[in-house]
Amino acid sequence: MGTHKLGRRIYKNKHDEFLRKIKVNPETLCWEWQSQKNRNGYGRIKFEGKNIGAHRYSYKYYIGEIPDDLMVLHDCDNKVCVSPFHIHKGDGILNHKEARDRGLRSSGDHPSQKTYKDGCRCEECKAIKSAAASESRAKHKDKHIEKNREWNRNYMRDKRAKLKAEKALLNNV
C-alpha cells in the first residue's frame, strides 16, 4: 500500500491513520475516536472516497463486510467507541429494541418526540411531524407579517417626510 497525506502527517495506510486517532478508555475499554465527528457525535473517517462512520470502518476492518441494509450498533452506548469488541451489526428494529431495553428510548413501539426520525411511519410520529410543520409554517408566516409591517412603517414614514418637504417647498414659493 502507498502512503497518503492527511494534514502534515503521512500515513503508510488507512489503518495506520485510524489507529492514531483512537484512545483507549481504561475504565470502559472503549476505543474512543479522537478525530472528526458528525453532527450526532459519531466518529467520521474518509474511506474509499466517502466519509463513513469510524465504527463502521472498524467493523469492516476487524470483522467483515456490512450489508447495505444493516447498521453497526454499539453494545457500550458510546457513540465515539470504535472497539470491535463493543460493536455488532443489526437493523433499525434491533437498534430500537436495544435502545428501549437499555432505557435510552421510550418503551412504546416508536421513538419519543425527542428522538423522532422522519423515516418512522407510526401515527404518533406522523402527528409530531405534522405539528412541527404547522409550527414552522406559522413562524414563517409571522416573520413575513412582521417584515411587511416594518416595510409599511418605513414606507409611510418616508412618504410623510416627502409630503412635509413638498409642503415646505410650496410655502416658500
- Domain ranges in the chain? 4-105
At residue 31, does pLDDT exceed 90?
Answer: yes
Query: How confident is residue 157, by pLDDT bands cut at 50, 70 and 90?
Result: confident
Q: How far is CA 162 from CA 115, 141, 148, 170, 171, in A?
A: 56, 31, 21, 12, 14
- Say whether pLDDT at 112 is over 70: no
Instruction: Give 35-79 pLDDT, tens digit per residue.
Output: 999 888 899 998 888 888 999 999 998 999 998 888 999 989 899
Residue that is written with C-alpha cell 470502518 in the block: 57
Of 40-44, 120-124, 141-145, where does mean pLDDT reach its minimum? 120-124
Q: Helix or strand or coil: residue 50? A: strand
CATH number belonging to the domain at 4-105, selected among 3.30.1490.190, 3.90.75.20, 3.40.640.10, 3.30.70.141: 3.90.75.20
Q: Is the pTM of this model over 0.75?
A: no
β pairing state of 44-47 and 50-53 = antiparallel
- Averaged pLDDT for residues 115-128: 62
Instruction: Give the CA dihedral 81, 84, 88, 89, nearest 10 degrees.
Output: 100
**Confidence band of 1 (pLDDT split at 50, 70, 90):** very low
CA distance 58 to 76: 15
Among the residue ranges 11-15, 61-65, 157-161, the one predicted with the least confidence is: 11-15
More confident residue, 4 or 31: 31
DSSP letter assigned to residue 76:
S
Tracing cell 432505557 back to the chain, one arrives at 103
The answer to whether residue 34 scores a pLDDT higher than 90 is yes
Please state, rounded to an integer, the average pLDDT across all residues of the chain: 78
